[in-house]
Amino acid sequence: MSTSNDRDRNIIAFVERCISTPFKQFAVFFVLETLAFFIVVANTRAYTQGNYFWTAVTDMFFGLQSFALGKFTVDTPYARTWWAGLGEFCGGTCGSLIAIWVTKHVYGG
């Protein structure tokens, strides 16, 4: 019978395999932070425009990604390297720029 601890250990082992090299650390955190900053900027643009629907949608995604990224970075030491940090730095910048472009087309003006 599988316990939640077994399931957690299996997930952590999978995550560690996914980010076991510097390139993988950079790539995974680049993508995760691009998504995170996309959500933050999209959310900010939605509520400053008074757009209730998109504010609610992006709020839900913001909460989900915040919890998942927090759990992910606490559970594995591979998530706390300089390569992971560089991926976050670059990904955050790209996520913000992409979100501005996308939300101009989705939200308008």
pLDDT at residue 70, as a whole number: 81
pTM of the model: 0.82
Tokens of 11: 């997930």
pLDDT at residue 2, as a whole number: 61
What's the domain range around 20?
A: 4-106
Q: What is the spatial distance between Cα 104 and Cα 12, in angstroms, rounded to a whole number?
A: 38
Q: What is the total count of domains within the chain?
A: 1
More confident residue, 94 or 14: 94
Alpha-carbon separation of residue 28 from 43, 52, 101 (angstroms) = 23, 31, 23
> Under a CB-based contact definition with an 8 Å cutoff, are residues 57 and 107 in contact?
no
pLDDT of 79 above 90: no
- Per residue in 19-49, pLDDT (tens digit) is 889 999 999 999 999 999 999 999 999 999 9
